[in-house]
Amino acid sequence: MAKITYNEDNIRSLDWREHIRMRPGMYIGKLGDGSTPDDGIYVLVKEVIDNCIDEFVMGHGKAVDISIEEGSVTIRDYGRGIPLGKVVDCVSKINTGGKYDSKAFKKSVGLNGVGTKAVNALSDYFKVQAIREGKTKIAEFERGELTNDARVKKTKENNGTIITFKPDKTVFKNYKFRSDFLDNQLWNYAFLNSGLKLNYNGKSYYSSKGLLDLLTKKTNKENLRYPIIHLRGEDIEVAMTHANQYGEQYYSFVNGQNTTQGGTHLNAFREAVVKTVRDFYNKNYDAKDIRASIVAAISVRVEEPVFESQTKTKLGSINMGPDSPTVRSFIMDFLTKKLDNFLHQNPEVAKDLQKRIMQSERERKEIAGIKKLANQRAKKANLHNKKLRDCRVHFNDKRGDQEIKNGTMVFITEGDSASGSITKARNVQTQAVFSLRGKPLNCFGLTKKVVYQNEEFNLLQHALNIEDGLDDLRYNHVIIATDADVDGMHIRLLLLTFFLQFFPDLVRNGHLFIFETPLFRVRDKSKTIYCYSESEKQAAIRELRGKPEITRFKGLGEISPGEFGAFIGDDIRLEPVILNEDSDLEGILKYYMGKNTPSRQEFIIGNLKVEKDEIEEEEMEEGEVAEVAEAGS
């Protein structure tokens, strides 16, 4: 074994740009290609817009303009503009910015002076222009290196800051901005900043009622058990209701930052709701029954928020400010007073809320008898049947590298050959495999009892650890990996039905994906090209010329473990399952999984990703479908 030296030559000092580019995960979380809402390219957009929002909150500028074309992003606010003598420093020197002065930015989301520097360092091209009182200053960069430090000039433009950047393709490989993720991101900014108008590629985002507008947009009025409760106080806003669905659904924010992983403020809210309800009805209801089917949003503003990572997705334990209460006591005091007052003043709402709680209580007791036996079966099956080939790192691990945990995934497969190939090719550190036995049950219209009565569903929920919600979810990516034929598409939809009906919060929180595998392998003696569509196959044939060998993969089991390694590594292709905010979930499931209709059969034939002559050989079964992701999930 070669001797490893450790001396002065091993010590390196990195400048700000080198450090960000070498360790981007420390600054923007996971990189990704834009297929999930927390991918790095959306964090870059957020970091710039956050600065615009801070200007608005401080009373400067009522609009933000965003343009994204061909991967290039331009964002303009109408605030005070960066002081002209500090334009270069503010976007290229770590720990430089105006937010260290708490008088200027008292309750800002970004306080560490990193945001725009990370955007600069991770962009092929970055341009900043500050406009202040009739003068303007421009600076341009390439991957953090200053290329143009222009002189201050006169201008007639309105005050503000304009930033243009294009993410570095060597860092964000094959990236693509998805309009639905950006749309959700911008609506959140509008809901949290009443009176602010955001303009994005010709579309405007504006809210006058804050979190009430948010829940109104994200829920179906006919599905709610009572009108949305909207409560506002100094530095806090809450909206909540209960719906006819399973699970708990929350939207939580701190200083305008969407804390997708919750934190102390969300924990305090959930605790306060339980306490207030118990006290109001003078009944010791189970906390799970009180929170079952809840849909709520909470926003708080605090001084110098402490997040658990630079991406600010989870709030740590802090005070509201100097000599102020903790976040927990602040939220508890607010809700126990305001929500209690509201229920006393609105007896019809109080009556409907109690009915919803009692319904959840009945449903819980109904399945209590079979739950214990089902859990015992699941434990035994996991030990002896080897349905789950687990990985070593999990999303719910309390310690460890957050970037690695964000990359954890489980492939849900059908058949021994498919699961065997993935198991042999996977990264055992972060990738797990769960094997189905045959086609799952069509659970449309059934109650949650079926999750415990059906062995496959019961084992699946235990493998994911989602029986009591997403708090202990073991994998960040839950991936449906089925064959690209009629049977595979049918299994895919049956699994989608299972998740959408019983665990919709898993889908809404961006954890469910469809695994895309190549349909064709085109190769000659010099090169092998894997193709995911007919058009890619034709392009590969033209590239290789001659008469290359063409293989059509009809099932995952036909792909060797050696080949699979290329499809589940850094270049893995995943299609996120997106549940649109205005989707009628019950209507969607009824259409796809109810009785056969001519219109649905036409949709199936038009959307299956298999060759048409193969479709015609198959007999259409009740409930068979193809892709649902683009049509409503």
Q: What phi and psi values does residue 75 have, to the nearest 5 degrees? A: -130, 130
Which domains, ranges and CATH numbers included, belong to the chain?
16-205 (3.30.565.10), 211-353 (3.30.230.10), 385-517+553-575 (3.40.50.670)
Residues of the chain with pLDDT under 50: 1, 98-106, 109-112, 383-384, 609-633
CA neighbor of 91 nearest in space, from 129, 55, 60 = 129
The two counts, helices (H) then strands (E), for the chain are 22, 23
Report how far apart, in Å, the C-alpha atoms of 376 and of each of 244, 364, 370, 461, 632 are: 30, 18, 10, 13, 36
Report how far apart, in Å, the C-alpha atoms of 632 and of each of 61, 393, 476, 480, 500 are: 37, 32, 22, 17, 11
Burial class (CB in 10 A: 0-12, 13-18, 19+), 535: exposed
Distance (Å, rounded) from C-alpha 403 to C-alpha 408? 9
Distance (Å, rounded) from C-alpha 313 to C-alpha 254? 9
For residue 296, the model assigns a pLDDT of 95
Transcribe 425-442 into DSSP letters.
HS-TTTEEEEEE-SSPP-
Tokens of 210: 């804050």
Report how far apart, in Å, the C-alpha atoms of 302 and of each of 305, 320, 502 are: 6, 5, 35
For residue 130, the model assigns a pLDDT of 96
Strands 63-69 and 197-200: parallel
Transcribe 274-301 into DSSP letters.
HHHHHHHHT----HHHHHTTEEEEEEE-
For residue 345, the model assigns a pLDDT of 97
Instruction: Count CA atoms closer than 13 A to 624's CA, side-chain side.
Output: 18
For residue 351, the model assigns a pLDDT of 97
For residue 15, the model assigns a pLDDT of 73
Q: What percent of the chain shows pLDDT beyond 90?
A: 45
For residue 412, the model assigns a pLDDT of 95
Q: What is the 3-state secondary structure (H, E, C) of 580-595?
A: CCCCCHHHHHHHHHCC
Segment 491-533, tens digit of pLDDT: 998 999 999 989 988 998 889 999 988 889 999 999 999 898 8
Residues with Cβ within 8 Å of 286's Cβ and at least 6 positions away in sequence, in order, are 361, 364
For residue 610, the model assigns a pLDDT of 45
For the chain, the first-to-last Cα distance in angstroms comes to: 54
Size (the chain), residues: 633
